[in-house]
């Protein structure tokens, strides 16, 4: 996997650094003394600060904002007397040796990436630096939703300690559609979305119209509906129906299976109907590459495809000859508006090795996370995202997913128990292949997986989700 460097820098803070601003005296109040103020003038004395990633980091994008960002990173390196290094480490080594290298005092970087599924294990192993006191002292609390991922902020506050942060926004599940195919049957998807007529019933109706089985073999040459994988489809439609596959118990603040939830079962049975009864939907199978759906969609084998934003870039590069658009998941019977599913999170953390250096590292990270001069966070995002889509309506859909308030995490992969036997992903594939019904999944596996959750998370409470 390749990603573009997402290290930004702050115009305002940078100006202060270059001017050599001094720290103000800490204020006091009747409630006590404020925490000590850290000077924004942090001098790393020429040190190289390493951001280590388990994926390839490409150069800054060839966009106006990308060029401006590159220049400002150079300026901030000078201002902080620091060298920023983005280092790529083999993904298998990265994850396998994360705990060992940190506990040996030899972390792979000052800023590391955690996939959500490793959160409980890392926390119990003691590899996370506790950011809480440094956040109070520096005033950097990651609460700016235009810059910092708020799902990460909430899900990585564990037992009252903040351990994670991220300056990338959520990657929601979305629905791609083939404009030619929809136009041929007289359907305007943009208007359907605007009028809130893009619903489960409409998806089923269009799926039936667009599925083509000219020989009657039961193996359509074109399916109305596809998905990156069965799990992707179930996650998207479950949240779109105001359901949850898993969640957090509001009393204990610990993971809770939700397969027995009525909204969840309704959505899962809807998926079952599309795949088994109507035979208009075929998700990617477990043995296929996760990119296969993009190739098949580009070849005109699907009218709709549920996936992540990653497919947009692939469709531009393949390239897809037909035009495509992007819409949110359809509105379920138990919802009154569009709900955007986020199917997983990853985030930065500081290894416990550098616990004493957390304040200065947070100051540097916050500076690098701000938009460069002449941009705000949303204009930066638009500048980098616009090349991936083909129309303004699709860009507006993505913008609402990223900056709106209707994006929700489906946290099952975050819990780290997805590789049961059978796995969560395989169970969803079995549902789509008529090997098991959604009701039997809930009856036979709900309590088994709940026991695994209880064992994995133990006494860890997700205090960032307290109401």
The pLDDT assigned to 20 comes to 34
The pLDDT assigned to 216 comes to 86
DSSP 72: H
Instruction: Place 400 in a pLDDT band, splitting at 50, 70 and 90.
Output: confident
Cβ-proximal residues to 410 (8 Å cutoff; 6+ apart), any chain: 235, 238, 239, 244, 245, 246, 341, 342, 343
Of 67, 13, 71, 65, the closest CA to residue 41 belongs to: 13
Count Cβ atoms below 10 Å from residue 54 Cβ, excluding itself. Answer: 20
Calculate the average pLDDT of the chain. 89
Q: Which of the two residues, 253 and 18, has the higher pLDDT score? A: 253
Least confident of 93-97, 286-290, 394-398: 286-290
pLDDT digits (tens, 9 = 90+) for 153-207: 999 999 999 999 999 888 899 999 999 999 999 999 999 999 999 999 999 999 9
Return the CATH architecture of domain 2-168+345-374.
Answer: 3-Layer(aba) Sandwich (3.40)
Bridge-based pairing of strands 82-88 and 47-53 is: parallel
Sequence spans of domains, the chain: 2-168+345-374, 174-343+390-465
Of 48, 107, 96, the closest CA to residue 351 belongs to: 107
Instruction: Place 40 in a pLDDT band, splitting at 50, 70 and 90.
Output: low
Q: Tell me the mean pLDDT in the region 440-460.
A: 95
Beta bridge partners of 157: 162
Q: What percent of the chain has pLDDT over 90?
A: 73
Contact 91, 127 (CB under 8 A): no
Residue 253's region, left for phi above 0, alpha for psi from -120 to 50, else beta, is left
Of 408, 411, 441, the closest CA to residue 426 belongs to: 441
Q: How far apart are CA 107 and CA 102, in angstroms?
A: 4
Rounded to 10 deg, the angle between the 64-80 and 358-369 helix axes is 150
The pLDDT assigned to 67 comes to 86
The pLDDT assigned to 410 comes to 94
Q: Is residue 413 within a helix (H) or strand (E), and if so which, with residue range?
A: helix 412-415
Contact 245, 410 (CB under 8 A): yes
Q: Residue 21 pLDDT more than 60?
A: no
Residue 448 burial by CB count (10 A; 0-12/13-18/19+): exposed, middle or buried? exposed
Q: How far apart are CA 284 and CA 302, in angstroms?
A: 11
Q: Tell me the mean pLDDT in the region 232-236.
A: 97
Of 42, 46, 100, the closest CA to residue 366 belongs to: 42
Q: Which of the two residues, 287 and 147, has the higher pLDDT score? A: 147
The pLDDT assigned to 363 comes to 96
Instruction: Place 439 in a pLDDT band, splitting at 50, 70 and 90.
Output: very high
Cβ-proximal residues to 307 (8 Å cutoff; 6+ apart), any chain: 173, 174, 176, 227, 228, 232, 293, 294
- In the block, tokens 């009218």 appear at 303
- Is CATH 3.40.190.10 what the domain over 174-343+390-465 is classified as, yes or no? yes
Least confident of 201-210, 235-244, 255-264, 401-410: 401-410
Tokens of residue 67, six digits:
């060029």
Q: How far apart are CA 151 and CA 167, in angstroms?
A: 11
Tokens of residue 190, six digits:
């943009």
pTM of the model: 0.88
Q: What angle do CA 225, 438, 421 make, to 5 degrees?
A: 100
Q: How far apart are CA 330 and CA 307, in angstroms?
A: 14
- In the block, tokens 């308030």 appear at 405
SS3 of residue 43 by DSSP? coil
SS3 of residue 138 by DSSP? helix
pLDDT digits (tens, 9 = 90+) for 313-368: 899 888 898 999 999 999 999 999 999 999 899 999 999 999 999 999 999 999 99
Tokens of residue 52, six digits:
């280590």
Domains 2-168+345-374 and 174-343+390-465 share a fold: yes
Cβ-proximal residues to 267 (8 Å cutoff; 6+ apart), any chain: 234, 237, 238, 240, 241, 243, 332
Q: Residue 23 pLDDT more than 50?
A: no
Q: Round the CA-based radius of gyration of the chain to a whole number and report it.
A: 24
Q: Residue 31 pLDDT more than 50?
A: no
DSSP string, 195-230: TT--BHHHHHHHHHHH-B-TT-SSS-SBEEEEESSH
Q: Is residue 79 within a helix (H) or strand (E), and if so which, with residue range?
A: helix 64-80
């Amino acid at each position: 996997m390749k990603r573009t460097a997402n290290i930004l820098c702050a115009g305002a803070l940078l100006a202060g650094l270059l001017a050599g601003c001094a720290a103000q005296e800490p204020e006091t109040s009747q409630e006590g003394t404020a925490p000590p103020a850290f000077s924004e003038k942090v001098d790393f004395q020429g040190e190289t600060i390493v951001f280590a990633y388990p994926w390839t980091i490409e150069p800054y994008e060839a966009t106006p904002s990308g060029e401006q960002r590159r220049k400002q990173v150079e300026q901030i390196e000078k201002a902080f007397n620091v060298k920023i290094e983005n280092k790529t480490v083999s993904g298998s080594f990265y994850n396998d040796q994360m705990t060992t290298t940190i506990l040996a005092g030899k972390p792979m970087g000052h800023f590391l990436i955690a996939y959500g599924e490793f959160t409980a294990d890392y926390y119990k192993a003691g590899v996370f630096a506790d950011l809480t006191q440094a956040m109070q002292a520096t005033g950097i609390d990651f609460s700016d939703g235009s810059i910092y991922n708020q799902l990460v902020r909430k899900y990585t506050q564990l037992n009252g300690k903040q351990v994670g942060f991220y300056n990338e926004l959520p990657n929601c599940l979305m629905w791609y559609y083939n404009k030619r195919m929809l136009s041929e049957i007289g359907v305007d998807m943009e208007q359907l979305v605007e009028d809130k007529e893009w619903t489960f019933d409409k998806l089923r109706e269009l799926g039936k119209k667009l599925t083509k089985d000219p020989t009657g073999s039961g193996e359509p040459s074109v399916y109305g509906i596809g998905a990156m994988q069965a799990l992707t489809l179930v996650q998207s439609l479950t949240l779109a129906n105001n359901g949850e596959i898993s969640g957090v118990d509001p009393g204990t603040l610990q993971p809770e299976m939700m397969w027995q939830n009525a909204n969840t079962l309704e959505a899962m049975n809807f998926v079952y109907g599309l795949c088994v009864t109507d035979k208009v939907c075929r998700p990617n199978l477990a043995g296929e590459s996760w990119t296969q759906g993009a190739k098949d969609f580009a070849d005109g084998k699907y009218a709709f495809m549920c996936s992540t934003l990653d497919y947009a870039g692939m469709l531009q590069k393949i390239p897809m000859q037909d035009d495509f658009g992007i819409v949110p998941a359809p509105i379920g019977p138990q919802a009154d508006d569009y709900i955007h599913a986020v199917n997983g999170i990853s985030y930065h953390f500081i290894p416990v090795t550098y616990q004493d250096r957390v304040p200065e590292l947070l100051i540097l990270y916050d500076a690098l996370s701000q938009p460069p001069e002449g941009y705000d966070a949303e204009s930066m995002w638009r500048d980098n995202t616009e090349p991936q889509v083909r129309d303004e309506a699709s860009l507006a859909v993505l913008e609402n997913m990223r900056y709106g308030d209707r994006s929700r995490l489906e946290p099952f992969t975050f819990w780290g128990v997805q590789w049961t036997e059978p796995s969560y992903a395989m169970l969803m594939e079995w549902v789509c292949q008529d090997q098991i019904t959604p009701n039997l999944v809930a009856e036979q596996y709900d309590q088994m997986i709940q026991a695994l959750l209880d064992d994995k998370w133990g006494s860890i409470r997700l205090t960032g989700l307290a109401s």
